[in-house]
Amino acid sequence: MDAEQLRENAHKMVDFIADYYKTIENFPVLSQVQPGYLRELLPDSAPTQPESLQHIFDDIQAKILPGVTHWQSPNYFAYYPSNSSIAGFLGEMLSAGLNIVGFSWITSPAATELEMIVLDWLAKLIKLPDDFLSTGQGGGVIQGTASEAVLVVVLAARDNFLRRVGKNALEKLVVYASDQTHSALQKACQIAGIHPENCRMLTTNSTTSYALSPIVLNEAISNDITSGLIPFFLCGTVGTTSSTAVDPLGELGKIAKNNGMWFHVDAAYAGSACICPEYRHYIDGVEEADSFNMNAHKWFLTNFDCSVLWIKDRTALIQSLSTSPEFLKNKASQANMVVDYKDWQIPLGRRFRSLKLWMVLRLYGLENLQSYIRNHITLAKNFEEFVTQDPRFEIVTPRIYSLVYAVNSTGKIFISHTVLSGTYILRFAVGAPLTEESHVNAAWKVLQDEASALLSTSLG
């Protein structure tokens, strides 16, 4: 690690990456390679002698990039976006450059403290109740993904309950959510040892726009209590993966409170939109929640990974996840003067991820971030109008935020699909930083052309 060699080589990498962005539209957005393609192109073992950086760049160009699906392409409309930005990228660079491992405050006080401060900033931007701020009993923490966020709160809630009702009651604990909830919840339950038959993924339908019905929820809870089971965890979603359904947080939260349950809100995708006052109402009722999650790496220009979890009672997390081996003990921790984020998460080690979120907030500022969100929503609205005007397509659920459905088609561009009430549906998610009106127009043309081709084939 020679500073001048680092400088020279890293400048070359900057140019390589800038050139990539300049030419990103030249690549097929969805990689067209076949399974196993790379093994045929690379040697069977690592080299004994060093190779040149130029040789590696050549290989990246010729062998790696053809196998990349270009999430940053303006033509990427699949799943959910994974935003990269200049600020996010610079933050990743700095984090990799410092390469600290911030598990405890002492291992880099700035890493812990900047995370607390920046997550307070973000909580204020989306107007979370003060209970979620680090200045009280709560606070925010950056997890890798929403899967880890929901897992740690399931664990905190599980252990809270088991302390009260006895540790052999695990098989009686019941989780509630809608059938539109992200699969991460079921995975978290599986990891935590919650019995699969105690995971109530309650059926939704178009009458509630696929939101969880408080009536259905209440009924399920009553039945379970009658059967001697113990309701302990409720997950509400704001912006479900299949149809951006919004669960009624206020009503759900009251039910959770009445039954002494933990109430978690998954706003992984849609949370970002709440920095705009006109969309903030989607999380009305969040004051009833015990924990709230949004992914800054989806639609908030912060490079992956940066999943933000806020919690009202940080003690619950720490009781579930803390360890204190001798070799990690230090004065500041022992005196309870500091936050040690190792006790808020699954792994011990952690990167300095708050840098990138801090740089996004500062280099862009709130107003630009709001414009960014609004522009995508406008583009999605445009797309919705295209679809409405073409009788061959149907819109199945109302457009909320920037997710639009186009039905009965195949896609040459990269979009993904889901199933709602048994119907196969195309998902068209607008959210890539480079996406402009022209790209949405072109995508619609692709969809129309493919639909025409399909129809003429099936008729002919």
Can residue 422 be called a binding residue for a second copy (CB under 8 A)?
A: no
Nearer to a second copy, 226 or 336 (CB): 336
Nearer to a second copy, 36 or 460 (CB): 36
Nearer to a second copy, 253 or 299 (CB): 299
Distance CA 80, CA 71 (A): 9
Q: How far is CA 177 from CA 132, 316, 393, in A?
A: 22, 21, 31
Can residue 170 be called a binding residue for a second copy (CB under 8 A)?
A: yes
Query: Among 392, 345, 284, which residue's Cα sits nearest to residue 150?
Result: 345
Longest dimension (CA), the chain: 79
Minimum gap (Å) between residue 459 Cβ and a second copy: 25
Nearer to a second copy, 321 or 448 (CB): 321
Nearer to a second copy, 174 or 359 (CB): 359
Query: Contact with a second copy (CB under 8 A): which of 206, 315, 368, 421?
Result: 368
Distance CA 441, CA 460 (A): 28
Distance CA 359, CA 89 (A): 9
User: 3-class SS at 289?
Assistant: coil
Determine the Cα angle at 54 with ends 52 and 57, to 5°.
120
**CA 220: distance to chain centroid?**
28
Can residue 85 be called a binding residue for a second copy (CB under 8 A)?
A: yes
Q: b vs e for 350-386, b when ≥16 Cβ sit within 10 Å of the residue's Cβ?
A: bbbbbbbbbbbbeebeeeebbebbeebbebbebbbeb
Q: Which of residues 91-130 bind a second copy (CB under 8 A)?
A: 92-94, 96-101, 105-111, 113-114, 116-118, 120-122, 124-125
Query: Contact with a second copy (CB under 8 A): which of 236, 271, 411, 433?
Result: 433
Stretch that binds a second copy, among 228-236, 282-290, 353-361, 375-383 (CB under 8 A): 353-361
Can residue 1 be called a binding residue for a second copy (CB under 8 A)?
A: yes
Partners of 231 in beta bridges: 174
Query: Contact with a second copy (CB under 8 A): which of 54, 327, 438, 457?
Result: 327
Nearer to a second copy, 120 or 290 (CB): 120
Can residue 61 be called a binding residue for a second copy (CB under 8 A)?
A: no
Amino acid at 328: L
Instruction: Pinpoint the alpha helices (H) of 166-273.
Output: 183-192, 214-226, 249-258
Q: Which of residues 200-239 bind a second copy (CB under 8 A)?
A: none
Is the Cβ–Cβ distance between 181 and 240 less than 8 Å?
yes
Stretch that binds a second copy, among 77-85, 254-262, 279-287, 443-451 (CB under 8 A): 77-85
Can residue 155 be called a binding residue for a second copy (CB under 8 A)?
A: yes
Amino acid at 277: P
Is the Cβ–Cβ distance between 373 and 272 less than 8 Å?
yes
Q: How far is CA 46 from CA 43, 51, 67, 292, in A?
A: 7, 11, 20, 45
Binding mask 280-319 for a second copy (x = CB under 8 A): -----------------x-----xxx--------------
135 by Cβ neighbours in 10 Å (0-12 / 13-18 / 19+) ranks as exposed
Count of residues in contact with a second copy, rule CB under 8 A: 148
Can residue 136 be called a binding residue for a second copy (CB under 8 A)?
A: no
Which two structure tokens, joined as six digits, stand for 343? 């006790």
Query: Contact with a second copy (CB under 8 A): which of 28, 137, 195, 448?
Result: 195
Query: Contact with a second copy (CB under 8 A): which of 89, 263, 279, 299?
Result: 89
Query: Contact with a second copy (CB under 8 A): which of 29, 128, 142, 151?
Result: 151
Q: Which residues contact residue 33 at a Cβ distance below 8 angstroms, ignoring those fewer than 6 apart?
A: 66, 67
In terms of DSSP bridges, do strands 307-311 and 173-178 run parallel, antiparallel, or are they unpaired?
unpaired
Nearer to a second copy, 119 or 387 (CB): 119
Can residue 9 be called a binding residue for a second copy (CB under 8 A)?
A: yes
Query: Contact with a second copy (CB under 8 A): which of 26, 323, 438, 458?
Result: 323
Q: Which of residues 17-56 bind a second copy (CB under 8 A)?
A: 17-22, 30-31, 33, 35-39, 42, 44-51, 53, 55-56
The dihedral through the CA atoms of 127, 131, 136, 142 has a sign that is negative
Minimum gap (Å) between residue 386 Cβ and a second copy: 22
Can residue 169 be called a binding residue for a second copy (CB under 8 A)?
A: no
**CA 403: distance to chain centroid?**
15
Nearer to a second copy, 45 or 226 (CB): 45
Stretch that binds a second copy, among 211-219, 402-410, 414-422, 438-446 (CB under 8 A): 414-422
Nearer to a second copy, 64 or 215 (CB): 64
Can residue 139 be called a binding residue for a second copy (CB under 8 A)?
A: no
Query: Contact with a second copy (CB under 8 A): which of 192, 221, 255, 316?
Result: 192
